[in-house]
Amino acid sequence: MDALAGLGAIPYFTLGPWEILGIQIQGFGLMVAIGVTLAYNVGSWLAPRHGLSRDKIQSLMLAMLICGFLGSHVIDLLLYHPKEVFEDPKILFKFGSTLSSYGGIIGSTLGMLWWKIRFKEPLMPYLDAASFALPAGWFFGRVGCAVVHDHPGDPTDFALAIVMKDGVARHDLGFYEAMWWIVILGIFWTLLMLGKERWQQRPGFFLALLPIVYAPIRFVLDFARTNDSTYFGLTPAQYISVAALIFGCTLMYMWATKRTIQLPLYVPSPEDESDDDGDKPVPAGPISKRKGKGKRR
């Protein structure tokens, strides 16, 4: 950072709000809506090209989206505002106040498990496609954070700092993360183009890569946050970052050594085992060409 110090911080900027037909549109909400739409369409575009059902990937992303928003709200309150929850538990049901990105991931995991139980499909191929689509949405989500400056950090003379309303140049963690997500997007799309057949035949790579490229940066950036709750010197996100990195490295090792990658498994019921057409659930692993009802899209 010393090389950029002294160049002058970035002037304060914002986006919105606008009022259209009596409805107020916030810059953060607009960016999140763009991100959700883009990620949804990227996943819908990728799935059929990897032999997966477009309808199934869309249903998976929808389940993860709904549970993710719920989780981002609830986890943020429980981990970052426990005192307020203890004093007034009703705030857990007051949505639109606070959000946590890692809380969204935890909530999305619950949505993923529901989808697995509901559709009895091999999870890994679809989850890998969803993981590839996620950076596009996360980027715009962090742009939303940047335009409202809701993650201010310590005062600094770093050239990429933002001069806040109080006239003090501070680290803007949302802005920094948005720039890093551009890098992640470049990495993901480059790797997709370089190894199309490999990712199709052995899914799990992008699911493993995502926490590997994101968690360390998030861990470091959180040291600059000023308003977050800490436990034994670390924020909740830093503890989750450590766990996420371990998960990603373990999964990548299994992928690289061609070990079978198993996520929560579906146990066939007697009805499934007695299906006349023999179209039984396939364990999580390489995409298999099955004889199914209809054709994959």
In the DSSP assignment, the letter for residue 231 is B
Min mean pLDDT across 67-76, 88-97, 145-154, 175-184 is at: 88-97
> pLDDT tens for residues 39-51?
999 999 999 988 8
Looking at residue 262, what is its pLDDT?
56
Looking at residue 6, what is its pLDDT?
46
* Number of structural domains in the chain: 1
Token digits of residue 2: 């010393």
Q: Is 278 a domain residue?
A: no
* Residue 170 belongs to domain spanning: 24-262
In the DSSP assignment, the letter for residue 27 is H
Do the beta carbons of residue 169 and residue 157 sit within 8 Å? yes
Mean pLDDT of the chain: 84
Q: Is 51 a domain residue?
A: yes
> Please, which residues have CB within 8 angstroms of residue 64's CB and are 6 or more apart in sequence?
108, 111, 112, 115, 130
pTM here is 0.81
Token digits of residue 65: 């989206």
| Dihedral (CA of 225, 79, 129, 204) sign | positive
Tell whether the model's pLDDT for residue 238 goes beyond 70: yes
Tell whether the model's pLDDT for residue 275 goes beyond 90: no
Do the beta carbons of residue 296 and residue 200 sit within 8 Å? no
Helix ranges (DSSP H) in the chain? 27-49, 54-80, 82-87, 101-119, 123-148, 173-194, 196-201, 205-221, 236-256, 270-273
Q: Is 199 a domain residue?
A: yes
Looking at residue 265, what is its pLDDT?
41
Q: Is 201 a domain residue?
A: yes
Q: Is 223 a domain residue?
A: yes
